[in-house]
Amino acid sequence: MSTTASLFPQEQQLLDAFQQAVDTQGFERLILSQYKGELDQLEKITLRVISLQNEKVMSCVYRYKTQDITKNYPLNEALAQVTALLPFCKQANLLTLDEELQLKKNKKKAMLTISKNKSAAKPAVEQQGHDRVKQRYVDQDSLFLQPLGITDAQSKIIPSMARKWKQINKFVEICAGALGQISNENQPLHVVDFGSGKGYLTFALYDYLAKNLQVPFVTGVELNPKMVEFCQQVATEANFNQLDFFQGDVRTYNPEQLDVMIALHACDVATDFAIHTGIRLNAQMIMCAPCCHKELRPQLQSPKVLAPMLQFGIHAGQQAEMLTDTIRALLLKAYGYETKVFEFVALEHTSKNKMILAIKRKDVQVPDPEVLAQIQALKEMYGIQKHSLELLMNNQWDQQDIGCKC
C-alpha cells in the first residue's frame, strides 16, 4: 500500500494547501513535529523557500537531538518529500500568507484547524507597537544557542542574554543586506571573524548562511586557547563542518582567500590591522565595530576655537573616536570601497555601537588622490602625526605593541 493511500483526509487537505501555497508563492513555513518514523533521533522538520544560486528551492532543516541537517530540494520535489514525512509526524503547522493550518493526529483520528494568518490580517500601523512580531534572522531553536548560554533547554531566551540576542540578530541582518550587494559568482564564501571571542556572531552567521545562501567556509580567530577549544567543540556538536576556530590574532592568521572580513570590538589599532588585511586580500566586504580609540587622542592639537567644547572630557574622547574612524572610512574609500559608518545597535544594548561597513566597488592600483588629500587636511588641522591604518597601507608600520585587552 502506498503512503498516500494511508493518509487521513485532513492530511491530504493539508498537502493540497501546501502545494497550492507553493504554486502561488504564498508559502511561508511548514513545521512537521513529533516525528515517530525510522530516522533515529529526528524530532522535527522545518521547511522554507529560499533562493540558492538565483533559483528558488525548498530548504528543509532536519532537527535531530544533537544536530541540525539542512537539505535543499527543487520546488517540484517538495510535495513528495512532505508526503513521505507527514504520516510519521503527529503534528504539522502550515503558515501561508493568508492562513494558518494546524494538523494534530493519533492512530485513530486526525483534526485540522484553519485560521486566518493573524500577522497578515493586522493593518501595517498596528505592527509598529511594542508587541509586534519581529523578524528574526537566527532561529531561536538553533542548537548552538544553548551551549553558548543564549537559550535554555526549552529554547527560550535567557532573560540576562536578551540584549546579546538582539545584537546577534541585528548583526546577521546587516550582514544579510550587505551580502546581497557583493558578487561571488556562485562560489563558496570565505569568511574570517577576527577576535571571535565566544563565537556568538560567528556561529550565527554560519548558521544563517548555511540555511539561506550556501555552505560557507567560516573561520573564527581568537587569542584565548580555551575559548578556541570550546567553540570548536560546539561547532562539531552542531555539525557545522566548515566552521573552524584558530588560535591567534590578525597578525598571525593569514588566510589564502578572504571574501568577507569581520572584526567586532577589536581593541584600538587591532581594528586597523584587520582592515588592512581585508584591503590587502581584496575582500569584497569589510565589517568592523571599533573600540578603545587610544591612538589619536594623545596626538590631538585641536583648533583653539574648539577649546570651550573640549574642556568637557567626554567630548575630547568623542572627537578622537570620530577622527580615528573617519580616517579609516576615508582610506577604505580611497582603495575602492563604498563605505558607511552607522549605529550598530542602540546604546541601551552596548556602548560599542558604531559599525564601519565597506563593500568593494572597484579594483584600484593607486588610491584616490582626492580622498588622500582630504585625510592629509584633517591630519594637519588636528596635528596628527600617525594613523596606524595609513602606516600599514604605506608599508611603514614598525611597532609591535598591539592587541592589548580592553
Predicted local confidence at residue 213, as pLDDT: 60
What is the identity of the amino acid at 19? Q
Residue 211 burial (CB < 10 Å; 0-12/13-18/19+)?
A: buried
N-to-C CA span, the chain: 67
C-alpha dist (Å) from residue 222 to 98, 192, 230, 255: 47, 11, 11, 14
Residues across the chain: 406
**Number of helical H runs and strand E runs in the chain:** 11, 14
Query: What 8-state DSSP symbol labels residue 351?
Result: S
Domain ranges within the chain, ordered by starting residue:
4-121, 143-393
pTM above 0.85, yes or no: no
Question: Cα(48)–Cα(128) distance, rounded to whole angstroms?
Answer: 25
Sheet holding 260-267, edge to edge: 243-247, 217-222, 190-194, 260-267, 285-291, 354-360, 337-343
Predicted local confidence at residue 121, as pLDDT: 43
pLDDT tens, per residue, the chain with 406 residues: 344 447 889 999 999 999 999 998 889 899 998 898 888 888 889 998 887 777 888 989 888 877 778 889 999 999 999 999 999 999 999 999 888 899 998 888 889 888 877 555 444 333 334 444 456 789 898 889 999 999 988 889 998 899 889 889 989 999 888 888 886 666 788 999 998 989 999 999 999 988 876 668 999 999 899 999 999 999 998 889 899 999 988 888 888 889 999 998 776 678 888 999 999 999 999 999 887 667 776 777 777 888 888 777 788 777 778 888 899 999 999 999 999 998 875 444 444 578 899 999 877 888 999 999 999 999 898 888 888 888 889 888 765 554 444 4
CATH of domain 143-393: 3.40.50.150
